[in-house]
Chain A
Amino acid sequence: MVELVTETPSVMTLVLSATGWKGHRPGQHIDVRLTAEDGYQAQRSYSIASAPQAGRLAITVERLDDGEVSPYLAGELVAGDRLEFRGPIGGYFVWDGTDGDRPVLLVGGGSGVVPLMSMIRHRSTIGATTSMRLLYSARTLEDVIFRDEIEQVAKDGVAVYQTLTRTQPPGWTGYGRRIDRAMLEEVAWPVRDAPLALVCGPTSFVEVAAEILVGVGHDPRSVKTERFGATGG
């Protein structure tokens, strides 16, 4: 690991250098495996946050206090430590800009924004003009990951909609509630535009969002989902 970046009080980005790494497709993840001295092992999946790049990748990890792997990754690891992982993994939950001009709706809950950020960064890197909207749900402003960068991409042609479900700061102009049908109907491209939707977050968040999108008429095959579960550990 080459670098640690603190994103929020509970979220850190780990920048990894990996010999022979050929890059990845945005949306893919890696499986990180930790091994104790006595052979005890624990493995978890982490989405890649960075845009595709040879030899280098970044994962963004939310520290869950009752978890087993995340407190080690986002708490004990220091720059220079080595990490065992495999990947890139996945091919279903990806967007790599090879889909023509089809508009893209990204819906992220909590750390579910991480693989979506890889897609947003990739869009900038390749200079794509794909119409892209991001709906990002976090608990509080403090929990918003990539806050400055999200403001920046909003100027770069990605329409950003945010909702803070628990507390909103004074003057907050975004949404202030859990994701619901009215919100998704306001944010999502109309069905006739046949957008691709990528939804990622905790299981219940993903299932609510996907159910609404399909319910308002989007093709279920165009609503791709990735569930993080509640813990991930």
Chain B
Amino acid sequence: MENRESRLDGNAIGGLLAEIFAVEMTSAEGTCAGCGSVHPIGRVEVYVNAPGVVVRCPSCQQVLIRIVKGSGRAWLDLSGTRCLEFAVAD
């Protein structure tokens, strides 16, 4: 049980993702590069009490996304996400 409460979900980083992406990302769907499962970003596991934000696959716990912000810069690692699908205007 312990530590369970430190786990949030993708909704918690909607604001951070809005700084980086031009479209709303919590309703986007990400494919895990590890196990191939597809989840809406609003549903993935998110750890924010860390030096950066760590996003993990709810199916296999592999890291999907890492975001570090500091000194007017951000570092975005998407290597654990094979594909992101999101709505755009036609």
A touches B (Cβ under 8 A)? yes
A226, closest chain B residue (CB): B11
Total number of A residues with any Cβ neighbor in B under 8 Å: 23
Instruction: Mark B12-52 against chain A: 1 for CB-CB distance below 8 A, else 0.
Output: 10110010000011110000000000001111000000000
* A29 and B14 in contact, given A91-B24, A204-B1 (Cβ under 8 angstroms): yes
Q: Are A92 and B26 in contact, with the CB atoms below 8 A?
A: yes
Query: A86 on the interface (CB 8 Å rule)?
Result: yes
Write the nearest CB–CB distance from B73 to chain A, whole angstroms.
17
Query: B54 on the interface (CB 8 Å rule)?
Result: no
Residues of A within 8 A of B1 (CB): 204
Instruction: Mark A80-98 against chain B: 1 for CB-CB distance below 8 A, else 0.
Output: 0000001101111100000
Interface size range on B against A: 20 to 34
Q: Provide the main secondary structure of the chain B interface.
A: helix
Write the nearest CB–CB distance from A50 to chain B, whole angstroms.
18
Q: Are B26 and A91 in contact, with the CB atoms below 8 A?
A: yes
* A92 and B4 in contact, given A45-B15, A227-B9 (Cβ under 8 angstroms): no
Residues of A within 8 A of B18 (CB): 86, 89
Which of A89, A204, A207 is within 8 Å of B14, CB to CB? A89
CA of A229 to CA of B13, assembled, Å: 13
CA of A228 to CA of B8, assembled, Å: 7
Query: A79 on the interface (CB 8 Å rule)?
Result: no
Within 8 A of B (CB), among A73-131: 86-87, 89-93
Sampled A-B contacts (12; CB under 8 Å): A86-B18, A90-B24, A91-B24, A91-B26, A92-B27, A92-B41, A203-B7, A203-B8, A224-B42, A225-B43, A226-B9, A230-B5
Interface residues of A (CB under 8 A from B): 29, 31, 45, 86-87, 89-93, 202-204, 207, 221, 224-231
Q: 17 extra interchain contacts, Cβ-Cβ under 8 A, other than A45-B11, A45-B15?
A: A31-B15, A45-B12, A45-B14, A86-B18, A90-B14, A90-B42, A91-B42, A92-B10, A92-B27, A92-B41, A92-B43, A203-B6, A221-B40, A226-B9, A229-B8, A229-B12, A230-B5
The 6 lowest CB-CB distance pairs between A and B, nearest first, are: A92-B42, A230-B5, A91-B24, A92-B26, A91-B27, A89-B14
Interface residues of B (CB under 8 A from A): 1, 4-12, 14-15, 18, 24-27, 40-43
